[in-house]
Structure 1
Amino acid sequence: MHTFFKVNPLTIDVNSFSISKYKKLKVVSLFSGCGGMDLGFKGGFNFLNENYEENPFEVIYANDIFKQATQVYKHNFGHEVDFRSIETIDEYAEIPKADVVLGGFPCQTFSLAGKREGLDSDRGQLYKHMIRVINAVQPKVFIAENVDGIRISKKEEKLDKSALDIILEDFDEAGYNVQYQVLNAAHFGVPQARKRVIIIGIRKELNANIHYPQTIHDETNWRTAKDGIDDLWDKIDSPNVLNHTTKDYSKAKFYPGKTMQGNNRIKHDRPSPTIRAEHHGNIEAHYRTFNDDENDMLGWRRLSVRECARLQSFPDNFDFNVAASSAYKMIGNAVPPVLGWYVARAVYFSLFSEKITVKKRKKELVSN
């Protein structure tokens, strides 16, 4: 019987040290999408006037089958993405050795908002291909990400274990000490309430303690949707704002009096709700309106691609050079880069805590 979850995990204040000059670790990125997690690991970007320093990680291989997402990835990161199904790739001959493997294996089958087919589906089995790559690459550490719904089995009345329990055991058998935590992006400065399961595994022979990033925001000081996007409201078609034209927001109708997907507005005074991938054009409306009557849906405008990107913490120079429909989907699938940045630094500290100098005494920064 394995214990994968600590009620009080080790945490570290990742803003208490600088690692930008440390040795870079090589990263293999699977199910990369447009690169939200990869950008977080890479660092070196600005979001809402805050600098997120460069991290010592270098992505040397990326893979995804969403063609438009690979186009955006290449455009922003400057290197190719292997556009083939992970199921067809020879992991020993075609994937390079690396220190880190990242993988946000497809999550819709586990989503509470989706059909919840879970491990019964072919997509629900894709995590096994991540393990296959891990066995070949032999990284020091892997990081996997998924929706919170992975903790709940579709057929829980018939199963003794959740999908997450099974996945964690399989990762453990690959030779890694494994833990998971549910992190809410809003607790790390992202203007969006987005809970995700973050699984970290470190090779057993390294005897390293796994750390997660300390939260820095709560209900008293979190970034609201207004903090994130208010300045963009009147800048539609501005040449100085990427992905924010009349072609970059959905024109799907609103229906008065009906309760249905996307038939509502986000609130200005709290983080936005989770930006979803499968909204089929029914992305929520901005909290502002063109009419005096707040309830008159004729004055509502749906969130633009750039506004969704902001709420996901993508920097303003990250260009989604594809049609809005594809951009919405990849943004909804992405890990918020700011959340990825915090996870990356906690992972680096986990591997090299003895070499990293913190601004305060370590015992004050790390809690059990």
Structure 2
Amino acid sequence: MLKDMKVASFFAGCGGLDLGFRQAGYEVIWANEFDEAIHKTYQFNHPNTCLCKSDIRTLKAADIPDCDGFIGGPPCQSWSEGGKQLGLEDERGQLFFDYIRLIKEKCPKFFLIENVQGIINDKHFSTFLLFLSTLENAGYVVSYSLLNAADYHIPQDRHRVFIVGFLKKLNCTFDFPKPLGKPYITLKKAIGDIVESPRSYTNENVIQEYGRWLNHDIFMGPWDAKFMARNRVRSWDETSFTIQAQAKNCPLHPQAPKMKYISQNQRVFLQGAEHLYRRLSVRECARIQTFPDNFRFFYKNVQDGYKMVGNAVPPRLAKFLALSIKEALFSIQVRKSETSNVLVAYYKNDYQLQQTLRNRLYYVRAGLRRGALQIPVGMAYPIYLLLHNRSNKFLFRIIPEYPKLMSASGLKKLGFMPSGKEYFAFRLESPLSTNLAGMDLSKVRIKGKNRNIAIPYITTIQELISE
């Protein structure tokens, strides 16, 4: 049943997500991409997919064929740390709501959303939570995580936020793919065999039929001050910098030595080696993004080639995510109604414990920072709080509701001493510890205690008892 799963793709671009899902055994039956400059590339590489070229703002649920899932990455420029970060004040940022609208109208079994790391920074985190709560209210359990492509055998550091949701009625459990870790894929392994010189362009029309390598073209435009403010060279034995969508910001080829430091905001090319400094070609960028060599990009201006490649989700990462979604759907099982969720968390000292009981409130870091709690939006809320410190363990009942987002200043007014910026706050029903039949707190083992006892997590009463 699962091998025939069908998906619809939004903001498809050249189809990096789509290719990864196809490689995982899905059928991409329909895709939407408004940019005319991309249409030929998409249709050539995805000949069995129906390409809709309409503006997403005009689409209705009836325009989309029945399918199992939606995949797509709304425009990232509104949230990118390298841009103006206008968020919802930018029309492109508002397209996020159009994607959510279609999810609500069509109700696929699952959806996947990809975006840049900037969408979870302090400036945009409240908006990000609004997106999650809107999806939860539409009937989905929503999980999110920040993934680095390098951890999945992709030869570049590329941090992106992924949101995955499943219909609540499916009652399935989703886990993001576990990082594969070292050894990382180096530039030598990724592009070391491309030894031919690339074809150089600035604004002239690109010659599409030429040479051994498809799209082995480079942009020869000038280097601006912002680009020269940092080293842009990674060595052959390293992973690449993030492949960018703007040609002028493309990383430099590893044949060159690393740029020389002059001051905090100035680097220069090493004297005598200036001829070695060039941008990676479109094909080399595609290799680093894990596109196969027969994946062909069509463009008249070389900058459009970089844009298509740089905006794409690496197909290899998309495949890992697609397989994790498939595993979650495969393992659907009916959960027992008596299962109760527990927030297992650490308290630093007696003072923090006293403040927690006095205010009937416990807080944990929000976001994706170290020590932050990941709360799949739409999951059954925890109704117990298990606080631990060394051998001390206390169990409290908490009000089963989505935790309130609080600032550090708000918590300090209550007598707490937080060190971060934003937190999720859970309310205790009572400051009195409780007991549960069948649970011996002294025998409960805390997950990860030997590695990092400060990281909170949510589990079930049954799992704590069985441990």
Normalising by structure 1, we get a TM-score of 0.78
Question: 1:99, 1:138 within 8 Å by CA — same for their partners in 2?
Answer: no
Match of 1:142 in 2: 111
Does 1:192 pair with 2:192? no
Give the Å deviation of 1:32: 0.5
Question: 1:152, 1:163 within 8 Å by CA — same for their partners in 2?
Answer: no
- Counterpart amino acid of residue 83 in structure 1: K
Q: Find the partner of 2:180 among 216, 236, 239.
A: 216
Match of 2:313 in 1: 335
Q: Find the partner of 2:83 among 111, 114, 121.
A: 114
Match of 2:250 in 1: 283
Q: Deviations over 1:326-363 (max 9, x none)?
A: 110011110000000000000000111269xxxxxxxx
Match of 1:48 in 2: none
Match of 2:191 in 1: 229
Match of 1:3 in 2: none
Match of 2:372 in 1: none
Partner SS for 2:280: coil
Question: 1:131, 1:174 within 8 Å by CA — same for their partners in 2?
Answer: no
Match of 2:239 in 1: 271
Give the Å deviation of 1:22: 4.5
Give the Å deviation of 1:298: 2.9
Question: 2:11, 2:33 within 8 Å by CA — same for their partners in 1?
Answer: yes
- Counterparts of 1:325 and 1:262, CA distance in 2: 22
Match of 1:241 in 2: 213
**Long gaps (5+) in structure 1:** 1-20, 44-54, 356-367
Cα distance change of structure 1 residues 202 and 287 upon mapping to structure 2, 3 Å threshold:
same
- Counterparts of 1:56 and 1:42, CA distance in 2: 5
Match of 2:132 in 1: 168
Question: 2:148, 2:159 within 8 Å by CA — same for their partners in 1?
Answer: yes
- Counterparts of 1:81 and 1:41, CA distance in 2: 16
Question: 1:225, 1:272 within 8 Å by CA — same for their partners in 2?
Answer: yes
Match of 2:55 in 1: 85
- Counterparts of 2:18 and 2:107, CA distance in 1: 19
Match of 1:47 in 2: none
Give the Å deviation of 1:222: 0.3
Give the Å deviation of 1:262: 8.2
Cα distance change of structure 1 residues 97 and 153 upon mapping to structure 2, 3 Å threshold:
farther
Does 1:98 pair with 2:67? yes
Question: 1:186, 1:223 within 8 Å by CA — same for their partners in 2?
Answer: yes
- Counterpart amino acid of residue 288 in structure 1: Q
Q: Deviations over 1:57-87 (max 9, x none)?
A: 1111100112122221101111442112100
Partner SS for 1:96: coil
Partner SS for 2:192: helix
Q: Deviations over 1:166-220 (max 9, x none)?
A: 21111111110001011111000000100111100000011000121111123xx
Give the Å deviation of 1:283: 2.0
Question: 2:155, 2:240 within 8 Å by CA — same for their partners in 1?
Answer: yes
- Counterpart amino acid of residue 174 in structure 2: I
- Counterpart amino acid of residue 152 in structure 1: N
Cα distance change of structure 1 residues 354 and 125 upon mapping to structure 2, 3 Å threshold:
closer
Cα distance change of structure 1 residues 307 and 202 upon mapping to structure 2, 3 Å threshold:
same
**Long gaps (5+) in structure 2:** 200-209, 258-268, 334-458, 460-467
Give the Å deviation of 1:119: 2.1
Does 1:318 pair with 2:295? yes
Give the Å deviation of 1:56: 2.6
Match of 2:31 in 1: 62
Give the Å deviation of 1:306: 0.2
Query: How many pairs are equivalent?
Result: 311
Relative contact order (C-alpha < 8 Å, sep 6+): which is higher?
A: 1
Partner SS for 1:249: strand
- Counterparts of 1:285 and 1:186, CA distance in 2: 18
- Counterpart amino acid of residue 283 in structure 1: C
- Counterparts of 1:71 and 1:259, CA distance in 2: 31
Could you say which structure has the larger radius of gyration?
2
Cα distance change of structure 1 residues 76 and 300 upon mapping to structure 2, 3 Å threshold:
same
Does 1:206 pair with 2:170? yes
Question: 1:224, 1:272 within 8 Å by CA — same for their partners in 2?
Answer: yes
Partner SS for 2:297: coil
- Counterpart amino acid of residue 38 in structure 1: D
Which shows bigger deviation, 302-311 or 130-139?
130-139
- Counterparts of 1:162 and 1:261, CA distance in 2: 32
Normalising by structure 2, we get a TM-score of 0.62
Question: 2:14, 2:42 within 8 Å by CA — same for their partners in 1?
Answer: yes
Cα distance change of structure 1 residues 252 and 200 upon mapping to structure 2, 3 Å threshold:
same
Cα distance change of structure 1 residues 117 and 259 upon mapping to structure 2, 3 Å threshold:
same
- Counterpart amino acid of residue 284 in structure 1: P
RMSD value over aligned CA atoms?
A: 2.5
- Counterparts of 2:29 and 2:58, CA distance in 1: 19
Partner SS for 2:40: helix
Partner SS for 1:112: coil
- Counterparts of 1:107 and 1:258, CA distance in 2: 20
Question: 2:250, 2:280 within 8 Å by CA — same for their partners in 1?
Answer: yes
